[in-house]
Amino acid sequence: MKSKKESYSITIGWLYPELMSTYGDRGNILVLEKRCAMRGIGCKIMPIDFQADEKDIEKIDMVFGGGAQDRQQGILIDDLRKRKGPVLGRLLHNNIPGLFVCGSPQLLGSFYMTGDGKKLEGLGLFDMESRHFGNDKPRCIGNMVIFISDAYKVDDLTYKNTVVGFENHGGRTYLGDGLKPFGTVLVGNGNNGEDKTEGAVYKNWIATYSHGPLLAKNPHIADFLIAKALEIKYRKVIKLSKLDDTLMWKAHDVMLGRLGV
């Protein structure tokens, strides 16, 4: 009997989809889902919300977090810290990949100091802290380009050392000594507008201030996450087929051109 071609599948856990999806953050999920589907890889989306069972969260192959407005963050923060924190920590240490965009990176760090001096404790998974210096300090808003190393390269797939995104944040983030940034700012503010760092990476979790559909114009990062999820789940490297990404790279390059990179 001829052996059937092995079929792969992953489950992506999405942190509080109703509360942490401020402005197009869902795009990342849509991109990951379809890029899996086009390759015949099964992709299930599991909301990590108030009802989510810890045992189910334990089994996911990728974590995604978007941004929350202040009120929404207030609604979920206790549940996130107390009921999700430990299991998320285990996923991180088991090398399960993750993507955190917009305001969600602030939740990963040790604390977030609000504009009126209130200290909100984070999950403490990343050695970093965030501060808001009050509304008289301008928000960081605009298109952003960062330079990344080859660390996210997937064999045979098209790769670029740039990531284009859009940032919109009032807080500033400072990384601890041991924590690596996601990239170096070429255009925009990044973590704090001072040290040229943008985002943070620990194990296979990527955190970035870029909000919204980061993966839409950065197919290389989408494929890095998919490849990592498969590698960790099946304990071997699984080759990803090449997709027609002409439009995605064109959108990427048009933005680089506009910003003079």
Partner 1 sequence: MNTVQYFIAVAIGIFVSRIARVFGYGAGSTWPGELALRVYPKILQQLKKRVTKGIIYVAGTNGKTTTSLMISGILKNSGGTVLHNTSGANLLNGVVSSFFNLWRKTDWAVFEIDENSLPTLLRYIHPDVLVLMNLFRDQLDRYGEVDAIASSWRTTLTTLSDTTTIVANGDDPMIAAVTESLKARVVYIGLEDPKYYLPKMQHATDSIYCPKCGTRLTYGGVYFSHLGKWACGSCGFTHPDILLTAASYTSPLEGVYNIYNTLAAAAVGEVLKIDVGLIQKSFDAFHPAFGRMEEVLYHGVFIRVLLSKNPTGFNESLRTVLASDKKGPMMIVLNDRIPDGTDVSWIWDVDFEQLKNYPFTLMISGCRTYDMAVRMGYAIDDKKTHMEHDENLESAIEKIVHKANDGETVWILATYSAMLDVRKIITGKKIL
Catalytic residues: 102, 211
Among 42, 74, 89, 176, binds partner 1 (CB under 8 A): 74
Using CB under 8 A as the binding rule, whether residue 70 contacts partner 1 is answered as yes
End-to-end Cα separation, the chain, in angstroms: 55
Tell me which DSSP letter residue 82 carries.
I
What the block records as the tokens of 12 is 């992506």
Residue number with CB closer to partner 1 (131 or 211): 211
List, in order, residues 6 or more apart from 128 with CB less than 8 Å away.
Answer: 105, 108, 109, 110, 173, 174, 175, 176, 179, 200
Residue 93: CB atoms within 10 Å: 11
**Site string (20-59) toward partner 1, x via CB under 8 A:** -xxxxxxx--xx--x-------------------------
Three-state secondary-structure class, residue 45: strand
Using CB under 8 A as the binding rule, whether residue 65 contacts partner 1 is answered as no
Element (H, E) at 58: helix 54-58
Residue number with CB closer to partner 1 (109 or 213): 213
Count of residues that interact with partner 1, criterion CB under 8 A: 33
List, in order, residues 6 or more apart from 79 with CB less than 8 Å away.
Answer: 50
Among 142, 151, 194, 239, binds partner 1 (CB under 8 A): 142
Using CB under 8 A as the binding rule, whether residue 69 contacts partner 1 is answered as yes
Q: How far is the CB of 178 from partner 1 (least distance, A)?
A: 32
Residues interacting with partner 1, by CB under 8 A? Answer: 18-19, 21-27, 30-31, 34, 69-72, 74-75, 141-143, 166, 168, 211-213, 216-217, 247-248, 250-251, 254
